[in-house]
Amino acid sequence: MALTVGDPSGVGPEIALAAWNCRKELGIPAFYLLADPALVAARGHRVGTNVPIVETTPKEASTAFGVGLPVVPLSAKFKDMPGRPDPANAEGVIEAIDRAVADSFAGRAAGIVTCPIAKKPLYDAGFGFPGHTEYLAHLAARHTGEMAMPVMLLAGPELRTVPVTIHIPLAAAPQALTTDLIVETARITARDLEARFGIEVPRLAIAGLNPHAGEDGSMGMEDLEIVAPAVRLLQAEGIDARGPLPADTLFHKRARTSYDVALCMYHDQALIPAKTLAFDEAVNVTLGLPFIRTSPDHGTAFDIAGKGIARPDSLIAALKLAAELATNSRSAAA
């Protein structure tokens, strides 16, 4: 499994070290870190860990994993400044992502796990994509010739959620929401839940946009005119979808047993319940790409970087889930 270091001024280097330290007792699958070995070693010294660093190649990483944290060196070097992001590190951040995707397509990695990046230092260095996921979709298109539509899935032990509209202002969500967008998001979700999560017939709960799913139009017409037609189209295609459902009753324990994923109409409608139920264990999974990609469901945590207190729980969950999805995908393809 290829692990990208993310923004080196964040907690990525130290949670990678902490994850390797837990490998035996928690059964963490083998992975290698794409990073500047000198920075990783310096961060380990700073946070007081004695994890040995083994410079290696993707091919030899599995053997090296039993000896130390396998680090596949980048051409770029990093400035080691915990908590202080610097555009000078952008080249290495992007190189790590590029090489992880190349390794996946070449069969050198079963999947990709990405540590968090910060957008502003990348933008300051000339990065031309809205974010991590959009760049991954661009790289996938470069390799395949086809543009993929990435879908964000938040996966925790008790709940999976998908936001149909994502990083836009709340006021813009109703305008961005369309029947076609809901249908395509649901198709990709259902397909990948079957192929990668091993769910034979995925059950999709489709949340309404408005309170009480609009109360038959008394609290907004979007649920009648946009969401409900999408549900009917999905049902006509044989997808097990139901809705629009009131979001305020969609996430309690009994309700969660009735579906495999909840499709939500805007960012916070999906992420608040997911993070409330499993803040340290939730994993961000990107569906719709021709390779497996997971990520910890937290940010760079600049405020605690270099202090040795960052918890690796979400990264560990991301590594384990990526390995599970890779196994399921191989079984589905066989």
Q: Which residues are annotated as a binding site for substrate?
A: 132-133, 275, 284, 293
Pair 300, 116: CB distance under 8 Å: yes
Q: Which residues are annotated as a binding site for a divalent metal cation?
A: 167, 212, 267
Q: What is the CA radius of gyration of the chain?
A: 20
Only one residue has tokens 């999905």, namely 234
CA distance 281 to 279: 6
Pair 265, 173: CB distance under 8 Å: yes
User: What is the distance between the terminal CA atoms of the chain, rounded to a whole angstrom?
Assistant: 20
Quickly count: other Cβ atoms within 10 Å of residue 331's Cβ.
10
Instruction: Enumerate residues 6+ apart whose C-beta is below 8 A from 31.
Output: 1, 2, 3, 19, 61, 65, 70, 113, 319
Helix (H, G, I), strand (E, B) or coil at 256: helix
Tokens of 124: 């300051």
Q: Which residues are annotated as a binding site?
A: 132-133, 167, 212, 267, 275, 284, 293
Pair 114, 131: CB distance under 8 Å: no
